[in-house]
Amino acid sequence: MVIGAGPGGEVLADRAVRGGLSVAVVEDGAVGGACSHTACVPSKALLRPGAALASARAVDGARQSVTGPPDPAAVLARRDRFTGRGDDAGQASWLAAAGAALVRGRGRIDGERRVHVTAADGTTRVLRARQAVVLATGSEPVLPDIDGLDGAGAWTSERATTADAVPGRLVVIGGGVVACEAATAWRSLGAEVTVLVRGRSLLSDWEPCAGEEVARGLTGLGAAVRFGVTALSVARDADTGEVSVETDDGGVLRCDELLVAVGRRPRTAGLGLEDVVPGYPASAADRLPVDDTGRVTSVPGGWLYAIGDVSGRAQLTHLAKYQARACAAALVERAAGRPAEGGPRQPWSAGAARTAAARAVFTLPEVASVGLTERAALGAGFTVRTAEYRTDDVAGAALHADGYRGHAKLVVDADRRVVLGCTLTGPMATELIHTATVAIVGEVPLDRLWHAVPAFPTVGEVWLRLLEAYGL
């Protein structure tokens, strides 16, 4: 049984059914989860038109044909075609075709392999799993302690991707991926945007070059990015609808909408975990302790699993799907009485899930990262060497866009001479990062990677330049 029909739950159900298991999926929202309806898909749909126009304007001969800004109504309509405005009929049909039973309602675990489901009309039923219960409930926005926030009607990430109109003035609180992408999207559609960042950089857990380039891109679009500023209180005028944001530097900002994007946490409230996970929630903090197959290690009997955001690992759709495939394979093996650990489809503690899940941010410019930053690698005890190169100086980049601006940084384990991490900024960064992912997962020695000759003239030639910068 799976609680949650987001990307991880869908993939797990499909793979488990194909492995011969019967699967019921419990979901109290839209099948497809946040990624399909309020996160990855709509955010990229909002961002892509502005990026396409920027690409055209970056090439002489094309820019002359660009005569205006994006059409907000057309952009929002295109987004809605991808999301169906919350209509999950298509994805529910896919789940049924995959052979899984969809049970609509809110699931709560009330005993070993028992799930109590409350439907929207208040009716209840109890489901019993023969093998296991898998939590795939995703994550939810964190709301900071700001005076007046509860009554201000502030946007969270869900509203930021589904709004029906472009706000005249938008204030964004936060400096992470959601804040940066939302600020880029709505500014490209004409909103006046101000970003308030409590710290001194955007994307603070990335290499510094990533946050620096995104900040430069936002200001280039005309957004205001203010660092070292904390919102103290917010209030919405009942008559005008205007929102006032008081900051700790003595200022007051006025806007039409306020977006709060300061992070997300695993969605575990109401699941009944306090009754089945020993010591929960104190023992779990912000994650459930899971092994390499997704099994919650603190639960006796090995019947409870968690994948995706709720497992407390990196909050990435593609990682949730990866974990789902590994978990499903383990469930199939265990149902047949065979050991599941150590097989080729359960490697996630050894590499991909912890150090090689690529992150892509579709701002202007794009930034992408995989593996460890220099700071994280040093903290993990590696002997680190780095190589950096301005992608601007690659011939393929200059041909791709006039005034191309980008940066590439490689983090290398100097003892083993293998790549530990990579960060790229600039156009095409999100498409180029997979090369680094393969190098990290495969632990490809630099001396062998040297023989992977990139095509000329492509932006990917930056890989040759990085290895040269390293000294090869």
For the segment 144-182, what is each residue's pLDDT rounded down to a tens digit? Answer: 999 999 999 999 999 999 999 999 999 999 999 999 999
Quote the tokens at residue 104: 């609509």
Residue type (1 letter), 295:
R
Q: Residue 341 — pLDDT band, cuts 50, 70, 90?
A: low
What's residue 342's pLDDT? 44
**Contact yes or no for 138/264 (Cβ under 8 A):** no
Residue 238, number of CB atoms within 10 A of its CB: 7
Do 2-32+88-141+266-350 and 149-262 agree at the fold level? yes
User: With the C-alpha atoms ordered 214, 215, 219, 220, is the resulting torsion angle positive or negative?
Assistant: negative
- Superfamily of the domain at 365-470: FAD/NAD-linked reductase, C-terminal dimerisation domain (3.30.390.30)
Please report, for the chain, the start and end positions of each structural domain, with discontinuous segments joined by +. Answer: 2-32+88-141+266-350, 149-262, 365-470
- Superfamily of the domain at 149-262: FAD/NAD(P)-binding domain (3.50.50.60)
Q: What angle do CA 38, 40, 44 make, to 5 degrees?
A: 105
- Per-residue pLDDT tens over the stretch 52-110: 999 999 999 999 999 999 999 999 999 999 999 999 999 999 999 999 999 999 999 99
Please give the average per-residue pLDDT across 434-457, as a whole number: 95
SS (H, E, C) 135-164: ECCCEEECCCCCECHHHCCCECHHHHHHCC
Instruction: Please tell me the number of Cα atoms within 13 Å of 370 on its side-chain side.
Output: 22
Please give the average per-residue pLDDT across 427-434, as a whole number: 96
Peptide bond connecting 7 to the previous residue in cis, omega within 30 degrees of 0: no
Ranking 336-340, 342-346, 411-415 by mean pLDDT, the lowest is 342-346
Whether residue 255 is predicted with pLDDT greater than 90 in this model: the reply is yes
Residue type (1 letter), 30:
A
**Contact yes or no for 16/332 (Cβ under 8 A):** yes
Whether residue 248 is predicted with pLDDT greater than 70 in this model: the reply is yes
CA distance 12 to 440: 26
**Contact yes or no for 56/30 (Cβ under 8 A):** no
**Contact yes or no for 255/400 (Cβ under 8 A):** no
**Contact yes or no for 281/269 (Cβ under 8 A):** no
CA distance 226 to 208: 17
**Contact yes or no for 27/96 (Cβ under 8 A):** no
Please give the average per-residue pLDDT across 235-256, as a whole number: 96
Please give the average per-residue pLDDT across 14-43, as a whole number: 96
Beginning with the edge strand found earlier in the chain, give each strand of the sheet holding 252-255 in spatial order.
231-236, 243-247, 252-255
Q: Residue 284 — pLDDT band, cuts 50, 70, 90?
A: low
- Per-residue pLDDT tens over the stretch 2-18: 999 999 999 999 999 99
pTM of the model: 0.94
Residue 290, number of CB atoms within 10 A of its CB: 24
As assigned by CATH, the class of the 2-32+88-141+266-350 domain is alpha beta
